[in-house]
Amino acid sequence: MSVRDVWIRGAAMTRFGLHPDRSARELVEEAVAGALKDARIEPSDVQAAFVGNAAAGLITGQESIRGQVVLRHTGLMGVPIINVENADASSSTALHLAWQAVAGGIRDCVAVVGYEKLDHRDRNRAYRALNATMDLTELADVFGPRAGHERNVLLDLSGATSSGDGRYRFDRELLAEVAVKNRYHGSLNPCAHLQSPVTLEQVLSSRTVTGPLTKLMCAPFSDGAACLVLCSGDHRRSRQGGVRIAASVLSSGRGDDLRRLPSAVPAVREAYELAAAGPEDLDLIEVTDATSIVEMYVYERLALCPTEDIPKLVRERTTWLGGRLPINTSGGLIARGHPMGATGAAQIVELAWQLEGRCGARQVADARMGLAYSVGGWIGSDVGACCVHVLQR
């Protein structure tokens, strides 16, 4: 089957953060209006909408028709609305499905929306939503029947992996360096939840969460929305130019089959193959960094360096703005924030803006190719879902 080129012609997002006085619908309306304006199209030009959300059912009770509810006043009602739930990778999965629709010739112009209202006055409700991205039966078997009700168990698992694979340990100073980087990048991003830079000493002295992780090494609860407009190359009603999706790959976790590679490894290889590129061709990367530990593990998954060279990559500031390969110029989850259902789409918004030279003080000079790595949930010994997208100017 022939595959058409797919272009991102519109990209917009709200500021991520705590929005107690704004509904999910209001956040989505802002993001959708911004993306349509950026693409220079009307709502009537959109032929389908793919809406990613992870936690609305547990946080607000809204199930089943979440996309229809939040899009009700955007002018997009009446088109096919596809609701996508895939943990933290919900909106990156929605993007993958939207890409398939355009690449396969089914649609010429579609919208991708990711949103979340995760913050709640009952913090335990947010914990339950986060922990629901895991196998609850397995969770209860390991941690007891009350597991997941009063703390974020995913953080416990992240802290438990800080010993690496036995060849070395991620020491606390390395973990703090990653957080300092992302908070600095976030200070340059007007859409970031946390916009104040922090020092190494501040990160190390903040409250211990689990293992070597401190509070400032972990992503905050956030609300927010992001929207993308995808078009075929010959779609003339939208603005021309934009950014091409060179690869879109979705994989699911291996569960408990330890004989297989982690799902991220073949997904990354396939993405590089589809884009006819390698890590040496990338100008910037956005990765899921729910904690500093998670970001450092991704370096090897993306074949940026061998595991034993990860500390060197961090200490030499290769991944900072101005370095050879900036990672999380948006601030990542640690600074930009992590509204689960919006995170994947927000990564792509950042890459699209960067590749079009629209990022101001955090702009990567002459950026031509970027990669977004989005994972969600945990199943057995692997992530529940992994999405890898490569964008090219």
Determine the pLDDT at residue 258.
75
- pLDDT tens across 220-231, in order? 989 999 999 999
Determine the pLDDT at residue 164.
47
Candidate ranges 58-62, 189-193, 256-260; pick with highest mean pLDDT: 189-193
Determine the pLDDT at residue 137.
86
154-221+249-392 and 6-120+223-244 share a CATH fold: yes
CA dist 383 and 192 (Å) reads 25
**The pTM is what?**
0.95
For the chain, domain boundaries? 6-120+223-244, 154-221+249-392
Determine the pLDDT at residue 142.
72
Average pLDDT, the chain: 92
Residue with token string 């990613």: 52
The CA–CA distances, whole Å, from 32 to 50, 72, 247 equal 12, 11, 24
Determine the pLDDT at residue 167.
45
Distance from chain centroid for Cα 301: 16
Which of the residue ranges 162-166, 253-257, 323-327 would you say has the lowest mean pLDDT? 162-166
- pLDDT tens across 226-274, in order? 999 999 999 989 999 999 999 999 999 987 777 888 899 999 999 999 9
- pLDDT tens across 326-338, in order? 999 999 999 999 9
* Edge-to-edge strands, sheet with 223-232: 81-84, 48-52, 109-117, 223-232, 6-13, 243-252, 382-392, 369-379, 284-287
In which band, very low, low, confident or very high, does the pLDDT at 168 lie, cut at 50, 70 and 90? very low
Both tokens of 278, joined, read 């390698």
Contact 250, 93 (CB under 8 A): yes
Q: Give percent of the chain above pLDDT 90.
A: 81
Phi/psi of residue 6, nearest 5 degrees = -120, 130
Radius of gyration of the chain (CA): 19
CA dist 138 and 146 (Å) reads 12
Which residues, other chains included, contact 206 with Cβ-Cβ below 8 Å and sequence gap of 6+?
Answer: 214, 215, 216, 217
Higher pLDDT, 371 or 124: 371
Which of the residue ranges 122-126, 127-131, 323-327, 336-340 would you say has the lowest mean pLDDT? 122-126
Determine the pLDDT at residue 296.
93
Distance from chain centroid for Cα 182: 14
Determine the pLDDT at residue 288.
96
Determine the pLDDT at residue 287.
98
Higher pLDDT, 255 or 63: 63
Both tokens of 347, joined, read 């990564």
Residue 48 pLDDT > 60:
yes
Determine the pLDDT at residue 170.
74
Residue 166 pLDDT > 60:
no
CA dist 115 and 111 (Å) reads 13
Report the DSSP beta bridge partners of residue 179: none
Q: Give percent of the chain above pLDDT 70.
A: 93
CATH code that applies to domain 6-120+223-244? 3.40.47.10
Residue 136 pLDDT > 50:
yes
Which of the residue ranges 97-106, 107-116, 158-167, 296-305 would you say has the lowest mean pLDDT? 158-167
**Looking at domain 154-221+249-392, does it have CATH number 3.40.47.10?**
yes
Q: For the chain, how long is the longest CA-to-CA vector?
A: 57
Contact 382, 263 (CB under 8 A): yes
Residue 219 pLDDT > 80:
yes
Count CB atoms within 10 A of the CB of residue 23. Answer: 14
In which band, very low, low, confident or very high, does the pLDDT at 149 lie, cut at 50, 70 and 90? low
Determine the pLDDT at residue 169.
61
In which band, very low, low, confident or very high, does the pLDDT at 387 lie, cut at 50, 70 and 90? very high
